[in-house]
Amino acid sequence: MSGPRNRPVPSDAAGASSPAARAGAPDLAPPAGGLVVAARGIHRVYEVGEEKVHALRGVDLDIRRGEYLAIIGPSGSGKSTLMHIIGCLDSPTEGTVAIDGVQVADMDETRLARIRNERIGFVFQAFNLLARESILENVALPLQYAGVNRRERIERAQAELESVGLGDRLGHRPSQLSGGQRQRAAIARALVTRPAILLADEPTGALDTKTGDAVLALFEEIHGRGTTIIVVTHDPDVAARCRRTVRIRDGLVEEVA
Amino acid sequence: MILEHMRSATRSLWGNKLRTFLSMIGIVIGVGSVVAITALGESARASITSQIAQAGLETVTVNVGRRPGAAVERLFTEELVDKFTEFEGIKAAAAVNRSNAQLKAGEESASEQITSATPAYLDIFSLEMREGRFVTEADMLERSAVVVLGSELADTLFPDGGAVGSSVRVLGSSPKQLRVVGVLETRSDTFGFSFDSGAFVPRTSYLVRIAKPDRPDSFVLWADPDARDVVETAAELQAWFDAETGSENAVRVQSPSTIAETMSGVTDTLSGFLAGIAAISLVVGGIGIMNIMLVSVTERTREIGIRKALGATPAAIRVQFLVEAIYITLAGGLAGLALGMGISKVASGFLGWDFILSPSSMAVAVAFSAATGIFFGLYPAARAARLDPVVALSYE
Ligand SMILES: Nc1ncnc2c1ncn2[C@@H]1O[C@H](COP(=O)(O)OP(=O)(O)O)[C@@H](O)[C@H]1O
Ligand SMILES: [Mg+2]
């Protein structure tokens, strides 16, 4: 792994209550300014045949630790593209990104996979749970890729599912759960590795208003425990519940007061 | 980690039982034939080896070849026996003639071959006596009217026992009466000749009572492997005859080793040919596996995307699919092992061979199927590992 592992011990309750998650992380000072995302001059150009689609045209974005941020914009404006780059699923055509103080621009797939595993938790509109596995196995999966032994994986996955209110559904397949329960399982899976950032792309998009509200309430609770959350949405009601909002327009971001 | 992959492979293959089974069939047949062929080959070899051991590793036979010619008529005389015994590496020799005869003892009768024998004959074939004695020098000198019976023939003619001391009549234009002096120990067939159903008469007596051949049919020699390699002795004798007769086909010298070489040459060719077919069916089975793995990778593109988002490295994805491919082929390989063992057991039964379950054919089955899984699973696994996470995640 290149770069310093600037993973501060958070002062919040969540970090303190699960020392195992931080075991092995050196006790270093937070990065300058406490920036968990530092994106500079991000361009992303898709080449479709002869045509070039400029999805992002020089995005600068700083996100501080513990922020609860909404990225809004109409459909096709580049929200998902930006989220994929922040989440290290995609690399910018141009520009640099530092996640949790680590430059990821020149990393190969293997190192990016490690960053995703250790520092980022994804929540998708379509839940993206593995249909064949129980939700317990689903939640334990990121810990498998982190090299945690099976007993500890199961223990931690179970604790995480209990904390999102699914302690009595451990052996259920995703198909045996409601949409709201599935999204809560997906959130548990995103959080089980104690990531620096929770990235959610239209997390309420597939849910009715009531269950969507329940998911947003859960986000607030998670944010309250100190986790940085970035929600991508086209829904102003969702954005209204976040502490800070940026809008994407013409491939650039602007702050919304 | 491997355990985890095996768990996930089990779940994914179990979720598609019919497809898993169908994609396995090629491997089952391929490995099954590999196992059957190697096992049968070993059974055949063992059967040949045991026949050679029965025949005696020290026996060399001299037969008239396909085109005898006048030279053979001149060479094949009783005096040749003395020449043979002077030969380096030969301890004893005997001229042999055989004729068919109807034998009768009381009410019982049998139609079998009478063979001329000398005392050396016993040593040459390492025969053992069940009762009585074999032909002696005294029998030779006196041309005694005696006979030694094979165990089976003795039991046929004397079902109530008491063969030794009794009389046997040889039917014909002038019937002969022979006194039984011994019965041979039972011995299984050696290359088509059965000692058990034979009757052995002192050669001197044979020539006056049983038949008056122009010359010996063949000679049997007792080679001494301590003095000289038996194959070498046989080769030198062959060369001597070829020179004397001026033809390569006049006289044929054979040792059990040369017979074994011929026979194992045949089985080697045959099993080589069958192994080729087996290899082809393994390749076909492997391509089936590759096809099913490619389908599986495409179907599970989204799953791969999810796993990558959660932190799966390309190596982890590659191993996952490779384990799955090896899993199918190994399961197919084990089923093929059972099938091949079944086939070779039944076939050895039909052919009268011993069924040999060799660890090597089992190892071959496991190794071949795992290798097939690795070889044909590598490309689909690499394809899965290379998938772009974003593209994979948005796959419908
Ligand atoms: N893989 C791709 N290939 C080509 N064009 C793409 C691809 N992904 C996104 N785009 C284009 O980039 C722009 C931004 O897409 P996206 O980030 O998905 O927008 P949003 O999430 O805001 O709806 C759109 O014009 C879209 O068509
Ligand atoms: Mg989108």
Give per-residue pLDDT as tens, B161-200.
899 999 999 998 788 999 999 999 988 655 567 889 999 9
Collect all residues of chain B within an 8 Å Cβ-Cβ radius of residue A144: 1, 4
* Range(s) of the domain holding residue A230: 13-21+66-90+109-256
Q: Does residue B234 sit in the same domain as residue B268? A: no
Q: Does residue B251 sit in the same domain as residue B357? A: no
Q: Does residue B89 sit in the same domain as residue B182? A: yes
| Tally of domains within chain A | 1
Residue in chain B lying closest to A192 (CA)? B310
Q: Does residue B189 sit in the same domain as residue B280? A: no
Q: Mean pLDDT across the stretch B325-341?
A: 89
Q: Tens digit of pLDDT for each residue in A45-80?
A: 999 999 999 999 999 999 999 999 999 998 889 999
* pLDDT confidence of residue B188: 66
* pLDDT confidence of residue B184: 94
* pLDDT confidence of residue A31: 46
Across the interface, whether the CB atoms of B393 and A124 are under 8 A apart is answered: yes
* pLDDT confidence of residue A13: 40
pLDDT greater than 70 at residue B396 = yes
Residue A44 lies inside a defined structural domain of this protein? no
Residue in chain B lying closest to A190 (CA)? B310
pLDDT grade for B369, boundaries at 50, 70 and 90: confident
Q: Does residue B152 sit in the same domain as residue B85? A: yes
Mean pLDDT of chain B: 87
- The residues in B 123-182 lying below 8 A from A, measured between CB atoms, are none
* pLDDT confidence of residue B21: 87
Q: Domain of A217: which CATH number?
A: 3.40.50.300
Domain termination site, one of B240, B259, B278: B259
Residue located via tokens 């290798």: B371
pLDDT grade for B56, boundaries at 50, 70 and 90: low
Q: Does residue B230 sit in the same domain as residue B302? A: no
Q: Does residue B94 sit in the same domain as residue B172? A: yes
User: B5 and chain A: CB distance < 8 Å anywhere?
Assistant: no
Q: Does residue B244 sit in the same domain as residue B201? A: yes
Collect all residues of chain B within an 8 Å Cβ-Cβ radius of residue A188: none
pLDDT grade for A30, boundaries at 50, 70 and 90: very low
pLDDT greater than 60 at residue A32 = no
pLDDT greater than 80 at residue A29 = no
Q: Tens digit of pLDDT for each residue in B287-310?
A: 989 999 999 999 999 999 999 999
Query: Higher-confidence residue: A219 or B229?
Result: A219
Query: Higher-confidence residue: B33 or B376?
Result: B376
Check: CB of residue B127 under 8 Å from CB of residue B77.
no
| Tally of domains within chain B | 2
Q: Does residue B272 sit in the same domain as residue B383? A: yes
Cβ–ligand 1 distance for A194 under 6 Å, the answer no
Q: Does residue B110 sit in the same domain as residue B240? A: yes
Q: Does residue B277 sit in the same domain as residue B141? A: no
Across the interface, whether the CB atoms of A122 and B15 are under 8 A apart is answered: no
Q: How far is the CA of A241 from the centre of ligand 2 (A)?
A: 19
Lowest mean pLDDT among A22-36, B259-273, B343-357: A22-36
Residue A56 lies inside a defined structural domain of this protein? no
pLDDT greater than 90 at residue A164 = yes
pLDDT grade for B272, boundaries at 50, 70 and 90: confident
Residue A31 lies inside a defined structural domain of this protein? no
Collect all residues of chain A within an 8 Å Cβ-Cβ radius of residue B14: none
* pLDDT confidence of residue A19: 42
Domain termination site, one of B259, B289, B311: B259
pLDDT greater than 50 at residue A193 = yes
Q: Which ligand is nearest to the CA of A54?
A: 1
Cβ–ligand 1 distance for A53 under 6 Å, the answer yes
Q: Does residue B187 sit in the same domain as residue B116? A: yes
Residue A217 lies inside a defined structural domain of this protein? yes
Collect all residues of chain A within an 8 Å Cβ-Cβ radius of residue B13: none
* Range(s) of the domain holding residue B350: 2-51+261-393
Cβ–ligand 1 distance for A249 under 6 Å, the answer no
Chains A and B form CB pairs within 8 A to the count of 64
* pLDDT confidence of residue B321: 93
Lowest mean pLDDT among A169-183, B67-81, B182-196, B324-338: B182-196
